[in-house]
Amino acid sequence: MKHLAIIMDGNGRWAQAQGLPRLSGHKSATKVITEIIDAADEVKVEILSLYAFSLDNFKRDVSEVYGILGIINDYIETELIPLVRTRGYRIMFIGELSRLPQELLITISKAYQIGVNNKGMQIVIAIAYSGREELIKAFNLLLEEKINNGDYTPINKTELSNRLYTATIPDPDVIVRYGGCKRLSDFLTFQSVYSELFFFEKKFPDANREDIFKINEQFLRIKRNFGDIRQ
């Protein structure tokens, strides 16, 4: 399993079920993320993608939006950056980053710069991300390039893929969603066409390292043909 992607869903509902404020669930989720990173590294995942905050999440109450973004900022600063330093991880952020608060952008830049020359596992954090918007942005970029170059040939899959945020990394082998919903919710829309999908009923704050080990074991037993017929 080269690339594992995780939709970290159910944080707010987890907190509400316990009579706690929704932000308490997001804080609890950050305690799980490092455990998931540890497990992914242990099973030799090369790329771990985490869906932290969608573009549609900006529709929520402003206090919750900036509360979540503040929690993300604190996690990157206090937990993720030390891991980048000590373990040699590389960090990549994808999404409409211009929508983020300046403080978070500074922290993101710091994390990226610290790990830019590292050789360890790559951690991709999708924040203010939308798979559809990514496709639209890539298509318009490619269309503009073609028009400027007088190239009127049809757009092909490779050209479009090379304009996505994830152009430098392979598509996910596995996408895992916590929280009981069986949908991808605008996550890696183009890249997920051949991903194996796993769904957990439990909310993300109840996730643990054993989940990653079980998924890895199941994935290793899957025969992936990518539309072909193989013996």
Question: Is 9 noted as a catalytic residue in this protein?
Answer: yes
The Cα 211–Cα 133 span in angstroms is: 31
Residue of 56, 57, 74, 186 marked active site = 57
Question: Is 61 noted as a catalytic residue in this protein?
Answer: no
- 3-state DSSP of the chain: CCEEEEECCCHHHHHHHCCCCHHHHHHHHHHHHHHHHHHHHHCCCCEEEEEEEEHHHHHCCHHHHHHHHHHHHHHHHHHHHHHHHHHCCEEEEECCHHHCCHHHHHHHHHHHHHHCCCCCCEEEEEEEECHHHHHHHHHHHHHHHHHHCCCCCCCCHHHHHCCCCCCCCCCCCEEEECCCCCCCCCCCCCCCCCCEEEECCCCHHHCCHHHHHHHHHHHHCCCCCCCCCCC
The residues annotated with a catalytic role in the active site are: 9, 57
